[in-house]
Structure 1
Amino acid sequence: MTRPLPRTFLLLLAVVALVLAALWLRPAPDRAGKPANAIPVRVVSVVQQDVPRYLGAIGSVLSLHSVDVRPQVEGVLTQVLVKEGQWVKEGDLLATLDDRAIRANLDQARAQLGQTQAQLQVANVNLKRYQLLSTDDGVSKQTLDQQQALVNQLQATLKGNQAAIDNAAVQLSYTQIRSPVTGRVGIRNVDPGNLVRTSDTQSLFSVTQIDPIAVEFALPQQQLPTLQHLLKATTPAEVEAYLDADGERSLLGKGHLMLIDNQVSATTGTVRVKAEFDNQDGQLWPGQLVTVRLRTAVDEDALVVPPPVVQRSIDGHFVYRLDGDTVTSVPVKVLYQDSTLNIVAGVKAGDRLVLDGQSRLKPGSKVEVTPDAPAPAEMADRRSQP
């Protein structure tokens, strides 16, 4: 015989059944108040700002003046008056050579000049005497002509003596080697005490101008009209030089466009371009490879969006614009693009466009905006970085 269940147990079962029924019949909660079929997307607002356009290239830093200092006369290098790496000015004395032999030649030339001057003085006195005597046939015309020829010969010898003095003075000046430019002294190749000759293949050292300095780079020949327009502009086109290191760029200096080469390379189809930089802090160094950006134009009040916003179809470019909780496909025209932004036409400043999640969208799709989209100010900040 089965015993009946206690009344308390039956009441407990009834309560549990009522709770389960209430949970089963309650409608599912609407999470965050969004439709159950909404597609999560990220959005960004259209920004209106001035956008500079750039051309990029790899350039090489060049000195505007770099001189290999070599002797112009043969002699023993007696002194080197500058240190390696020292900054010097144009005209500073760098080194001296043994000048004793050249000084002796200069003294000899001066002595010969004095001797010729004395001979010419006597010849002129005799010439005047013969000219007076020739008026009453006191001397033959032949004798007078011979004396005149002697005076002319001594005058020519005098000019030769003076030229020899000038040449010896120039040779003497070569024994003092002075800096031809303002710049930095390089590594010394010859020590004092060595005999140096003009035929030596190795220079004493070099002097290289550092400030200002130039950067040379090449651009496609299709950019030649743009470059010519920039050269004719009243304001020089700005050029920036960056050093790429460990995946990051550091600005080395800002300069301006100086010139373009007078011909296009037939092998590469490029034209060489040179820019000049103020380099007081020495960030740019001759022979250094840098990344160059040439500013070609500035688009004022341009409508700017990140590159992922713009989609492409067989009909052209388009974007998804957020209208309430749905999206609309809007055709746009891409006016300019680079790795950081696109300049578009067809939308308005402040329009909210889909940045991520377009692959699941179609016109009229309901969307749920996620909060991790970049703000417009952040996009502008990234544009200012190299």
Structure 2
Amino acid sequence: MKRTAILIGILSLAALAGTGGLYAAMHAKPGKAVAAAPAAPPAIPVVAAAVTSHDVPIYLRGVGTVIAYNTAVVRSQIQGQLVRIAFTEGQTVRTGDLLAEIDPRPYKAQLDQVSANLDRDKAQLGNAIANLGRYTDLQSKGYASSQLSDTQKAQVEQLQATVKADQAMVAQAEVQLSYTRLTSPIPGVTGVRQIDVGNIIHPTDPNGLVVVTQIEPISLLFTLPQGELLRIQMQMAKGPLRVLAYSQDEKIELGQGTLQLVNNQIAQTTGTVQLKATFENKAHRLWPGQLVNVRLLIDTRKNGLTIPAPAVQPGQDGAYVYVISSDGQAHVRAVTVAQISEGQALIDRGLAAGETVVIDGQFRLTEGSPVRELHGKAAQQAREQSAVQSVVP
């Protein structure tokens, strides 16, 4: 019994001690509690690049159409049977190259005939001149009348005119005979043949024999806004302007040429001015009728500041970028973009050379966000993932 009473007393004291501790905890003053410090936000992984300074070309961009430098429809100037084709379709030819031949026999016979007439009349003229000399000598001695000499002189003049007419006939027959050889009037590339050997070709055939198109050099017509006209004229006064032609996807440079002229009037309906450039086109990358993108090199910005184009973000107040400060935080910076070309943005205002801007991962950033720059393979994977996300709807 005595041991039981002692045990009950110990448990009662323990209970009272627990109740007091609970009471003390419930009535403790708030000012005496220790507050836990908030955890720092994790750094956001981003891909970054530095602002670089170098000479940057300034382009005016437009769309143009390639046109042949010269185009000629090879037609026959005489009628006759086509006896020979001397070219293949798509062949490159030079000026004067033989393309086809018409049966020359009728025209050769005509030339022989008028040549014989000329020889006959020359012989008669020679005899008449000799007679005139004899009559003149006899007249001087009193053995012939002046009438006889005058008549002979008139006959000589008549035969001289006949010979001149014969010579013209011979020249005409030679020209007709030369027309039996159809040659290329310009250097270029032949198109589709319009008539086959054995057929009769006529001067009135609408399609002629073939079309020859000159593509070395070649021309390009393109348009630009009329607001750029004064700027173009000022630069043309300093020297020839370079024109670059690109494929429609802007991935392949097709050639470089020189601006030849600015058209003498502005299209009122579109507010544009037409320009013409000439390209050597040695590689034949430009083809008549081809639609291309055009860049007119108007100026070169010395020590221009450039950043990768993905760094520039559109905002309500204009373009901006995220600049990484020395303490590893991203800060919003408004910028003025002069142009975006070949994946690079030329910055007029807002950045300085050597600063670091975010080029991938901006969608997770806010002003002052801590960032962690990715490099190497990690940066490449991040950019590839962003590219996939931008394509998937």
Shorter-normalised TM-score: what interval? Answer: 0.7 to 0.9
Structure 1 stretch 88-97 or stretch 142-151: which is displaced more?
Answer: 142-151
Aligned CA-pair RMSD: 3.7
CA contact (8 A) 1:40 1:357 kept: no
Is 1:106 matched up with 2:106?
Answer: no
Contact 2:330 2:371 in 1 (8 A): no
Structure 1: 5+ residue runs without aligned partners? 5-23, 379-386
Conserved 8 A contact 1:311-1:319: no
Q: Taking structure 2 as the reference length, what is the TM-score of the superposition?
A: 0.75
Matching residue of 2:22? none
Aligned position for 1:77: 82
Structure 1 CA distance for aligned equivalents of residues 207 and 321 of structure 2:
66
Q: Distance in 2 between matches of 1:112 and 1:202?
A: 38
**Shift, 1:75, TM fit:** 0.5
Question: How far, CA to CA, are the matches of 1:129 and 1:71 in structure 2?
Answer: 52
Pairing 1:173-322 to 2, within 5 Å after superposition: 173-234=178-239, 236-244=240-248, 249-305=251-307, 306=309, 308=312, 313=317, 322=324
Any conservation in 2 of the 1:46–1:352 contact (CA below 8 Å)? yes
| Structure showing greater Rg | 2
Change in 2 beyond 3 A, CA 1:368/1:284: same
Alpha-carbon deviation of 1:111?
Answer: 0.8
The match for 2:121 is 116
State the identity %. Answer: 38
For each residue in 1:198-234, what CA deviation from the matched residue of structure 2 results, as whole angstroms up to 9, or x when unmatched? 1111211122223332222122233223333444444
Q: Is the 8 A contact 2:248 2:291 kept in 1?
A: no
Measured in 2, the distance between the counterparts of 1:215 and 1:258 equals 10
Partner of 1:348: 352
Superimposed CA distance per residue, residues 121-175 of structure 1 (whole angstroms, 9 cap, x where no aligned partner): 1111121122223324433333322222221111111111111111111111110
User: What do residues 58-97 of structure 1 show as CA deviations (whole Å, max 9, x unaligned)?
Assistant: 1111221222111111111111111112222222211100
CA separation of 1:197 and 1:370: change in aligned 2, threshold 3 A: same
3-state DSSP of counterpart to 1:271: strand
Are the counterparts in 1 of residues 312 and 319 from structure 2 also a CA contact under 8 Å? no
CA distance in 1 between partners of 2:326 and 2:258 (Å): 48
Residue 322 of structure 1 deviates from its aligned partner by: 4.9
- CA–CA distance in 2 between the matches of 1:54 and 1:102? 60
SS where residue 139 of structure 2 aligns? helix
Q: Distance in 2 between matches of 1:322 and 1:198?
A: 77
Q: 1:152 aligns with which of 144, 148, 157?
A: 157
Letter in 1 for 2:123: A
Asked if the contact 1:105/1:168 (under 8 Å) is kept, the reply is: yes
- List aligned pairs for 1:9-24, cutoff 5 A: none
Count of residue pairs brought into register by the alignment: 343
Q: CA deviation at 1:319?
A: 6.6
Task: Indicate how the Cα distance of structure 1 residues 338 and 117 shifts in structure 2: closer, same or farther if over 3 A, else same.
Answer: same
Contact 2:312 2:321 (8 Å CA) reproduced: no
Cα distance change, pair 318–287 in 1 and its aligned pair in 2 (3 A): closer
Q: Which runs of 5+ in 2 are unaligned?
A: 1-7, 9-33, 384-393
In structure 2, relative to structure 1, the CA distance for the partners of 1:199 and 1:371 (3 Å cut) is same
